[in-house]
């Protein structure tokens, strides 16, 4: 990892109280906090959801005062990880509404990590496929290794601690692949001074 501080935002897509997928996001935050030169921020739709979109915030001047900080954080992040439960074969609509508020420049050539979960056996596979399409549409660089989490209610406790140690290997694999992509994209930005 280079000496530059790498900024990651983890978006937890469920707006529901008692969200189970938020447990996964909390675990990932803890894992990233163990890595030198990485800063991580959790943005949870339970607390940070946005009203139904009326316009895209194409520049800071169009952003409401109380949302300026999150706009800057999204703009300055090197990587974004989206964490979503699967709702009726798709990802969270609250997550989509949040993402739609920001211009494509907030995602352009940034490392896009996909994490999904369900309480069933499929782990949000259909939602993950749709999030791949969304990331491509936003001009993000998609990490090919996703973290698909079946029976997520049995894998993490409410604090984000891992209950099923056999799942640790999948988490390690996802993190290694995501960081591989992220560090290379960040190094390129450092050399060119731009993500354009």
Mean predicted confidence (pLDDT) in 31-42:
95
Question: How many CB atoms are located within 10 Å of the residue 42 CB?
Answer: 20
Contact present, 131 and 148 (Cβ < 8 Å):
no
Smallest Cα–Cα separation from 86: which of 51, 47, 115?
A: 115
Summarize the confidence of residues 174-194 as an average pLDDT: 82
67 closest CA partner among 57, 77, 76: 57
Q: How confident is the model at residue 171 (pLDDT cuts 50, 70, 90)?
A: very high
Q: Return the percentage of the chain with pLDDT > 70, whole number.
A: 94
Q: Which residues contact 92 (CB under 8 A, 6 or more apart)?
A: 13, 14, 15, 45, 84, 85
Rounded to an integer, what distance in angstroms lies between the CA atom of residue 121 and that of residue 19?
18
Higher pLDDT, 123 or 187: 123
The answer to whether 171 and 152 have CB atoms below 8 angstroms apart is: no
pLDDT value for 169: 98
Predicted pLDDT at 158: 95
The predicted pLDDT at position 196 comes to 55
Mean pLDDT of the chain: 94
Please report which confidence band the pLDDT of residue 193 belongs to, taking 50, 70 and 90 as the band edges: very low
d(CA 53, CA 139): 20
Please tell me the distance from the alpha carbon of residue 60 to that of residue 188, in angstroms, as a whole number: 25
Pairing of strands 111-117, 141-142: parallel
User: Mean per-residue pLDDT for 19-48?
Assistant: 96
CA atoms within 13 A on the CB side of 169: 1
pLDDT at 145 over 70: yes
Fold of 6-57+67-190: Rossmann fold (3.40.50)
pLDDT score recorded for residue 1: 43
pLDDT value for 187: 87
CA separation for the pair 164, 156 (Å, rounded): 7
Gap between the Cα atoms of 80 and 112, Å rounded = 5
């Amino acid at each position: 990892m280079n000496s530059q501080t790498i900024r990651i935002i983890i978006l937890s897509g469920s707006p529901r109280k008692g969200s189970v997928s938020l447990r996964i996001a909390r675990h990932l935050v803890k894992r990233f906090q163990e890595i030198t030169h990485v800063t991580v921020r959790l943005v949870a739709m339970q607390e940070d959801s946005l009203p139904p979109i009326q316009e895209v915030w194409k520049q800071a001047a169009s952003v409401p005062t109380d949302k300026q900080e999150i706009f800057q954080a999204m703009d300055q992040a090197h990587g974004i990880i989206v964490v979503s439960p699967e709702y009726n074969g798709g990802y969270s609509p609250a997550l989509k509404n949040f993402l739609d508020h920001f211009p494509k420049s907030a995602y352009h050539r940034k490392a896009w990590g996909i994490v999904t979960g369900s309480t069933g056996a499929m782990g949000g596979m259909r939602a993950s496929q749709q999030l791949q399409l969304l990331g491509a549409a936003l001009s993000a660089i998609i990490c090919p290794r996703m973290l698909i989490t079946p029976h997520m209610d049995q894998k993490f406790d409410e604090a984000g601690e891992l209950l099923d140690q056999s799942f640790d290997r999948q988490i390690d694999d996802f993190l290694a692949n995501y960081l591989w992509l992220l560090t290379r994209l960040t190094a390129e930005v450092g050399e060119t001074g731009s993500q354009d």
